[in-house]
Amino acid sequence: MDEFNANEGKQPLQILFFGYAAVVLVFVASIVLAPKGIGAWAPYLLIWLFSVIAYVAPFAIFYLANSKVEREHASFKYDRKVVNTARFGLLVVGLASSIYISFFLATEISKALNGG
């Protein structure tokens, strides 16, 4: 990062930050709300969808925004490794959260199917 040139552009890292925050928020919401009862699969499906959007949307938006920065600031240089690690980390954390939620979603769907 020693060659980072703040005058020519800036990584939209706040998008990744919001992504991490959204992932954590949805994860905590899934634990706090913990839908129960007949038809709990529906709210779980919604929570799971949010959990996926929480990391896919910031990831994609960051991708686009970052390339825009690079395009508009052709000589812009930055520590790509750090940014890539943060970007990859969001995918890993988001995916882990959504898999955790998908287990409960799968359980509720299984119950609904088993109960007719």
d(CA 59, CA 47) in angstroms, rounded, equals: 19
Chosen residue from 20, 43, 76, 93 binding another protein by CB under 8 A: 76
Interface with another protein includes 24 (CB under 8 A)? Answer: no
CA distance 42 to 111: 12
Does residue 18 belong to the site contacting another protein (CB under 8 A)?
A: no
- The answer to whether residue 78 forms part of the interface with another protein (CB under 8 A) is yes
Which range in 10-18, 20-28, 55-63 contacts another protein by CB under 8 A?
55-63
Residues that bind another protein (CB under 8 A): 3, 36-39, 48, 51-52, 55-56, 59-60, 63-64, 66-68, 70-71, 73-81, 83-85, 87-88, 91, 94-95, 98-99, 102-103, 105-116
